[in-house]
């Protein structure tokens, strides 16, 4: 079997939507780079439907005044090259002091907290700045309070939930509104042999009770909406790590969380992304 490889440049704000759309169209997986994404499709896919869709998106972006629009190129590549290309996109990476994120075909790294993630469809392979920022901050603050209950709000691949479990949280709940994420999380939890991650499809309402630590790597608009839920879900002394905030949008999130009585403890920046540590 051969595969179609699409190299797509798109403004950041539209990246997640595009990945969702490609996945719905039968995309096998996506490698995210700084400026572009590479997306793979089986050769059996209706290729003209996909190129038409991308061209249409480009027109829409240009019409909406986006300076950069969307650019794409495609190539048909034989299976062995696809495997190589795919695997090269997911080399193990060290994050923070202790974590190594690696795909299932790599050997575990001795002396590290290994997070094994199958780079399937869901977001959160560890190759994104926001995911890495969450891990750095979770590691830094994990021991600041009790390690009883952890909530991963918008779990994607389950990566942060698995990290929390391996950092020693006693019970972890991972929720996501996307059924594909739930599927990926089940797979990754099993790969990591962690037994205390409870996976639920949906949003905050699926995770009742209060938490010592919450991680939410979602876009700022959603974080603003979730502010009051965060206030009621955090135990006194609890910590929330919020990420997915583009630089310049952090103030709206800070305003929303201070309005509900939470405190900003730290602002952390990686590239154009901002993460916030919030305390109650």
Neighbours of 248 (CB within 10 A): 10
Q: How far is the CB of 77 from ligand SAH (least distance, A)?
A: 27
123 binds ligand SAH (CB under 6 A): yes
**Residue 249 binds ligand SAH, judged by CB under 6 A:** no
Q: Is 250 in the site for ligand SAH (CB under 6 A)?
A: no
- Distance in Å, CB of 5 to ligand SAH, minimum: 23
What gap in Å lies between CA 162 and CA 178, rounded to an integer? 18
Q: Of the candidates 29, 89, 103, 156, which one interacts with ligand SAH according to CB under 6 A?
A: 156
The residue with tokens 């305390």 is 279
Contact with ligand SAH (CB under 6 A) among 131, 185, 220, 275: 131
Instruction: Determine, following the binding rule CB under 6 A, whether residue 194 of this chain makes contact with ligand SAH.
Output: no
Q: How many CA atoms lie within 13 A of 77 on its CB side?
A: 19
Q: How far is the CB of 160 from ligand SAH (least distance, A)?
A: 5
Give the nearest distance from C-beta 188 to ligand SAH in angstroms: 11
29: Cβ contacts below 8 Å, ≥ 6 apart: 39, 40, 86, 119, 120, 121
Q: Give Dmax (Cα) for the chain.
A: 56
Instruction: Tell me which of 100, 155, 188, 275 binds ligand SAH, using CB under 6 A.
Output: 155
Among 5, 118, 178, 250, the residue binding ligand SAH under the rule CB under 6 A is: 178
DSSP string for 14-48: GHHHHHHHHHHTT--EEEE-SSEEEEEEETTS-HH
User: 60-81 burial, b if ≥16 CB within 10 A, otherwise e?
Assistant: ebeeeeeeebbebebeebeeee
CB 4 within 8 A of CB 76: yes
Q: Is 124 in the site for ligand SAH (CB under 6 A)?
A: yes
Name the nearest CA neighbour of 212 among 243, 228, 242, 233: 233
- Using CB under 6 A as the binding rule, the residues of this chain from 52 to 111 that contact ligand SAH are none
Among 22, 113, 162, 175, binds ligand SAH (CB under 6 A): 175
| Binding of residue 177 to ligand SAH (CB under 6 A) | yes
Nearest to 223 by CA among 141, 109, 135, 134: 134
The single residue among 134, 163, 207, 278 that binds ligand SAH, judged by CB under 6 A, is 134
User: Which residues form the interface with ligand SAH (CB under 6 A)?
Assistant: 122-124, 131, 134, 153-156, 159-160, 175-178, 181, 203, 217-218, 222
């Amino acid at each position: 079997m051969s595969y179609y490889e699409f190299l797509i440049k798109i403004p950041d704000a539209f990246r997640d939507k595009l990945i969702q759309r490609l996945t719905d169209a039968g995309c096998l997986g996506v490698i995210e780079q700084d400026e572009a994404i590479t997306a793979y499709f089986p050769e059996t896919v209706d290729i003209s439907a996909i190129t038409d869709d991308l061209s249409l998106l480009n027109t829409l972006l240009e019409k909406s005044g986006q300076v950069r629009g969307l650019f794409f190129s495609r190539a048909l590549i034989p299976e062995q090259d696809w495997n190589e290309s795919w695997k090269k996109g997911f080399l193990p990476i060290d994050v923070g002091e202790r974590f190594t994120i690696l795909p299932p075909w790599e050997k575990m790294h001795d002396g590290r907290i290994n997070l094994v993630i199958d780079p399937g469809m869901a977001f959160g392979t560890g190759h994104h700045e926001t995911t890495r920022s969450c891990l750095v901050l979770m590691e830094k603050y994990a021991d600041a309070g009790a390690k009883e209950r952890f909530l991963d709000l918008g779990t994607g691949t389950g990566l942060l939930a698995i990290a929390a479990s391996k950092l020693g949280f006693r019970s972890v709940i991972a929720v996501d509104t996307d059924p594909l994420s739930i599927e990926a999380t089940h797979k990754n939890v099993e790969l990591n042999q962690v037994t205390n991650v409870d996976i639920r499809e949906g949003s905050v309402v699926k995770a009742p009770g209060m938490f010592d630590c919450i991680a939410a790597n979602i876009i700022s608009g959603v974080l603003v909406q979730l502010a009051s839920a965060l206030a009621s879900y955090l135990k006194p002394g609890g910590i929330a790590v919020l990420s997915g905030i583009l630089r310049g949008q952090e103030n709206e999130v800070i305003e929303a969380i201070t309005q509900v009585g939470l405190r900003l403890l730290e602002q952390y920046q990686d590239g154009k992304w901002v993460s916030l540590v919030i305390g109650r």
